[in-house]
Structure 1
């Protein structure tokens, strides 16, 4: 993934949510993205994950620079190419556990993307894929027949992670995967992401709000402030040489 001088707005006449952002995610690398509320983190995550629909109200649109994801240029691209790209990118939205379909079982929720891509996919094979992933996110297979409301918030978040990975994406975009989750569960969720990344070999963008948690699983970080990148590189390097007041505050909190 390569963003070069990327500018994104919610409507061409609006103030940009991202202004001249340049970051890169190398193959197999995990990039952490951190910043205050309103800094543009979720906007960048949505754009990279191709979760946009140009012209549709309330969705971010690339209005400047370029963004290349898995070999696909996203600016001024067709919806067909964007939809094709979305199948290669796993997207875990903020509080992804709440986006599970309440009328479907856990197993059906995880399998749903498989049948959205191919309605004739073999159900036994799909079941095996789902079972492997539920086991991989450290949940018992007994949850497969339960409904989302029967699980804890942390368990639902793990199921949402399994769903995001069910199509074996080349890139995972996880928007603050521990937000709202009990503090005792946050670390294990991030460690599951890191273990699966090492096992499956995908690249990852992990949005977070706690640098102490993020630094345990990422290779590099990008720090956003008011739509601008104000720190970028290895965690220790960024904190040792803060070039912006917000990064200095992060360094003080992390010391």
Structure 2
């Protein structure tokens, strides 16, 4: 049992951060919520054995393919290693356009070009990057391309699993700031999963703290750390105040 007794709601336009150590159940939640929208990877998929997971009021247990396809227009997913797993034989332009073409291969090419250019500009990358391949980019640039891909369908909800993982420490802050800016501009809801409090401080309205699959803290970062009722949260609060 990876996660149990968890009760969480992300409000429209809210960014909820999910904080916890490795093995706390954070990525399991991301995989449960995104399973209907991403290609199977061959890994064992998590199964909901009790309770319910819902997106826009639609239960994910027993979700039909047709309903999943419909929902997928409104849900973006940024996987943990998204920047480092971009298809190496595709250009940046092709990578950003792909989510649209998967859903409609006859989409107007001129309109698509305009959307791709807008997205690359939105993630603060130069347009000269459009013809480049992932191996020609820095880790920070690749993560921005992955973010553009996740947002190209203008989702109402974005699920981001460790959005700064694999990115040079020097540009993590810039990626977090960009995420927060785009969320303000586009007003999407987001579930951001991270073990990095600094990232969540930059992007999240509230945080939920998980330990060993159990919710041990919920509220704004200040609320959670000001009055930690759980030893793990108290430990986090102490290390955060020591580091800042």
Alignment of 1:97-108 (within 5 A): 97-108=83-94
From 161, 178, 181, the equivalent of 1:175 is 161
Inter-partner Cα distance in structure 2 for 1:121 and 1:83: 17
Tell me the equivalent position of 2:80: 94
CA contact (8 A) 1:33 1:223 kept: yes
From 172, 187, 194, the equivalent of 1:201 is 187
Tell me the equivalent position of 2:211: 225
Inter-partner Cα distance in structure 2 for 1:197 and 1:30: 8
Tell me the equivalent position of 1:8: none
Higher relative contact order (CA 8 A, sep 6+): 2
CA offsets per residue over residues 162-196 of structure 1, 9 Å max, x none? Answer: 00000110001110011121111111111111111
Deviation at 1:17, TM superposition (A): 1.1
Deviation at 1:53, TM superposition (A): 8.6
CA contact (8 A) 2:84 2:166 kept: no
Question: Residue 97 and residue 80 in structure 1: after superposition, are their counterparts in 2 closer, same or farther (change >3 A)?
Answer: same
Matched, 1:252 2:238: yes
CA offsets per residue over residues 72-102 of structure 1, 9 Å max, x none? Answer: 1112222332232223110000021122111
After superposing the two structures, state which structure 1 stretch, 45-54 or 58-67, moved more: 45-54
Tell me the equivalent position of 1:81: 67
Inter-partner Cα distance in structure 2 for 1:27 and 1:38: 28
Inter-partner Cα distance in structure 2 for 1:169 and 1:118: 16
Inter-partner Cα distance in structure 2 for 1:52 and 1:107: 20
Between the two proteins, the alignment pairs up a number of residues equal to 239
Inter-partner Cα distance in structure 2 for 1:131 and 1:57: 34
Aligned residue for 2:4, secondary structure, equals strand
Identify, as 1 or 2, the structure richer in strand. Answer: 1
Deviation at 1:52, TM superposition (A): 7.0
Tell me the equivalent position of 1:6: none
Tell me the equivalent position of 1:186: 172
CA contact (8 A) 2:180 2:202 kept: no
Tell me the equivalent position of 1:31: 16
Inter-partner Cα distance in structure 1 for 2:75 and 2:102: 15
After superposition, the CA RMSD in angstroms is 1.6
CA contact (8 A) 1:52 1:59 kept: no
Tell me the equivalent position of 2:131: 145
Inter-partner Cα distance in structure 1 for 2:129 and 2:202: 29
Q: Which sections of structure 2, spanning at least 5 residues, go unmatched?
A: none
Q: Structure 1 stretches (4+) deviating beyond 3 angstroms? A: 50-54
Aligned residue for 1:193, secondary structure, equals helix
Aligned residue for 1:205, secondary structure, equals strand
From 235, 239, 251, the equivalent of 2:221 is 235
Identify, as 1 or 2, the structure richer in helix. Answer: 2
Aligned residue for 2:191, secondary structure, equals strand
Tell me the equivalent position of 1:7: none
Inter-partner Cα distance in structure 1 for 2:67 and 2:123: 31
TM-score, normalised to structure 2, is: 0.93
CA contact (8 A) 1:46 1:52 kept: no
